[in-house]
Amino acid sequence: MTFTRIALTGALAALVAVPALAEQWRGWNIHPEDYPNSIALETFAKEVAEKTEGRIEPQVYHNAVLGDQPDAIEQVRNGGLDFANFNMGPMGQIVPATNVLSLPFIFKDVDQMHVVMDGEIGQRFSDALAEEGLVALSWFDSGSRSFYNTKQPIETPEDVKGMKFRVMNNDLYVQMVDQLGGNATPMAYGEVYQSLKTGVIDGAENNYPSYDSSNHFEVAKYYSITNHLIIPECLCVSTAAWDALSDEDKAIVKEAAVTAAKQQRELWAEREMKSRAKVEAAGSQINEVKDPKAFQDAMAPVYEGFIKANPDLESLIKDIQSSS
């Protein structure tokens, strides 16, 4: 055997022995490491890496270090990022059907949201997301959102008058605050703390865990339970990453996402209670609103305007409202 032939044979053997290159998946997450969603995303990453025997190696980037949510949605859609946990609020700009989930008081409670999202209606949202480059594999909980501010408890819609609230990036939230007589400013989540502190805004709205983990409770101590939004969140994979998978790996990734969602919902229920206790101990004043129906009734024009602009989505609204 000549030297060249020996070298070639060796090189070929080395090639055969080297396993296929692992797919490195980059995942976006807005929350800090100890948040229920973050823990569940890590579970997803670990299970995918283990069960695919390293063919896919997902890594989660916490704390929105890869950008704010609307940018990250774009990046997952165009395959720049591979997976993420997204709230359906900012998704409305891209996937119009998901705006239905941003209508105030669309769900009676969180249990109804779970039933709807885990069933046939949830599949309709997944289908709409798939058309825009996002494969929704499972649904996370995000509790219900209420208003908090730096000035006073909100007991009636009257109390919102003249106050300036940060909302997520969706015009429906601007309308929602308008109808209560306040002013709304869409703003990235990461800018809210400073804006509350410096008085650029008077308040914002979110669930207990985010009010806690973002430290907004330190600067806006009046938390008023309006429960005006119950918005599900997806564990989404980019279509590009998904389409590159074998059927076997698709099944593994899907199962890992379902496992992660189950864990997230359990952790969520615990964290809601812990966060509420923590912010109260730190001095937050939490109040029930006097007449929740007054807040709901004020939303009628938001629904009317939405249905007028999106007549094709009226049946979806009715299907959600009539499901239990």
Return phi, psi of residue 78, to 5°.
-95, 10
69 or 224: CB nearest ligand GTR: 69
Check residue 189 for interaction with ligand GTR (CB under 6 A). Answer: yes
Region 109-148 residues binding ligand GTR, contact defined as CB under 6 A: 142
How many residues sit in the footprint of ligand GTR (CB under 6 A)? 11
Give the tokens for residue 137. Answer: 């594999």
Residue 158 is classified by DSSP as: G
| Nearest approach, Cβ of residue 89 and ligand GTR (Å) | 6
Instruction: Choose one: 99-107, 110-118, 205-213, 289-297; the region binding ligand GTR (CB under 6 A).
Output: 205-213
Asked whether 60 and 27 are in contact (CB, 8 A), the reply is yes
Interface of this chain with ligand GTR, residues 159 to 178, rule: CB under 6 A: 168
Looking at this protein, which amino acid is placed at residue 273? M
Q: Indicate the residue among 36 and 122 with the shorter CB distance to ligand GTR.
A: 36
Q: Residue 227 Cβ, how far from ligand GTR at the closest point, in Å? A: 14
Nearer to ligand GTR, 41 or 316 (CB): 41
Residue 25 beta carbon to ligand GTR: minimum distance, rounded to whole angstroms: 19
Asked if residue 207 binds ligand GTR (CB under 6 A), the reply is yes
For residue 87, state whether it binds ligand GTR (rule: CB under 6 A): yes
Between 98 and 210, name the residue whose CB sits nearer to ligand GTR.
Answer: 210
Alpha-carbon dihedral 171, 76, 141, 280, rounded to 10 degrees? -70
Contact status: 195 vs ligand GTR (CB under 6 A)? no
CA distances from 106 to 31, 70, 138, 276, 315 (A): 25, 23, 20, 24, 13
Query: Any idea which residue has 């907004």 for tokens?
Result: 216
Site for ligand GTR in 270-299 (CB under 6 A): none
CA dist 184 and 195 (Å) reads 13
Is residue 210 within the footprint of ligand GTR (CB under 6 A)?
yes
User: C-beta of 16: minimal distance to ligand GTR in Å?
Assistant: 45
Nearer to ligand GTR, 27 or 89 (CB): 89
Largest CA distance in the chain: 92
Residue 30 touches ligand GTR, criterion: CB under 6 A: yes
Q: Which residues are CB-contacts of 123 (< 8 A; sequence separation ≥ 6)?
A: none
Q: Which of 164, 149, 185, 192 is nearest to 287 (CA)?
A: 149
DSSP letter assigned to residue 196? H
CB of 54 to ligand GTR, least distance (A): 30
49 vs 177, beta carbon nearer ligand GTR: 177
DSSP state of 157: G
CB of 85 or CB of 126, closer to ligand GTR: 85
Count of H-run helices and E-run strands, the chain? 14, 11
DSSP 205: E
User: Distance between the two ends of the chain, CA-based, in angstroms?
Assistant: 77
The answer to the question of residue 89 lying near ligand GTR (CB under 6 A) is yes
Residues of this chain that bind ligand GTR (CB under 6 A): 30, 69, 87, 89, 142, 168, 189, 206-207, 210, 233
